[in-house]
């Protein structure tokens, strides 16, 4: 079974802090994704990575950056956290190429005070 592990289930941070959300997958997947999930808006793609050190902006990248130094790990960084970044953050991975679904982690519920 694919295992996508997010480092924290719940996280509380203060406005202006630099926040790191970590995601690790154990299936040697090439593609990894970060989403945020908000009521009524569904999942929205922040950034994705199609290989080590390769990244592309998703639909809502503003205020975020990412890092992928190793294939199994994809980090989401909030450079200077703001209250409107309070949300559920979901990480996903999938094998490279077409025809494969994404597998999700359990999510990190982040609150910015």
Partner 1 sequence: EDKVVQSPLSLVVHEGDTVTLNCSYEVTNFRSLLWYKQEKKAPTFLFMLTSSGIEKKSGRLSSILDKKELFSILNITATQTGDSAVYLCAGAGGTSYGKLTFGQGTILTVHP
Q: Quick one: DSSP state of residue 87?
A: E
- The Cβ of residue 98 has, within 10 Å, a number of other Cβ atoms equal to 6
Q: Which residues from 29-68 bind partner 1, rule CB under 8 A?
A: 31, 33, 35, 40-45, 48, 50, 56, 58
- For partner 1, the closer of residues 81 and 108 by Cβ is 108
Contact at 8 Å (CB) between 85 and 63? Answer: yes
15 SS3 class: coil
Other residues' Cβ atoms within 10 Å of the Cβ of residue 76: 23
**x-or-dash pattern for partner 1, window 71-100, by CB under 8 A?**
-------------------x---x-xxxxx
- Residues in contact with partner 1 by CB under 8 A are 4, 31, 33, 35, 40-45, 48, 50, 56, 58, 90, 94, 96-107
């Amino acid at each position: 079974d694919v295992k996508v592990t997010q480092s924290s289930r719940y996280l509380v941070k203060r406005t202006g802090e630099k926040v790191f959300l970590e995601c690790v997958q154990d299936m040697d997947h090439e593609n990894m994704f970060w989403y945020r999930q908000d009521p009524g808006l569904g999942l929205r793609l922040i950034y994705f990575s199609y290989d080590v050190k390769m990244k592309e902006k998703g639909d809502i990248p503003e205020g975020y950056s990412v890092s992928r130094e190793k294939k199994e790990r994809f980090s989401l960084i909030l450079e200077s956290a703001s209250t409107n970044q309070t949300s559920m953050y979901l990480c996903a991975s999938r094998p490279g190429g077409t025809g494969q679904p994404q597998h999700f982690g359990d999510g990190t519920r982040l609150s910015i005070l």
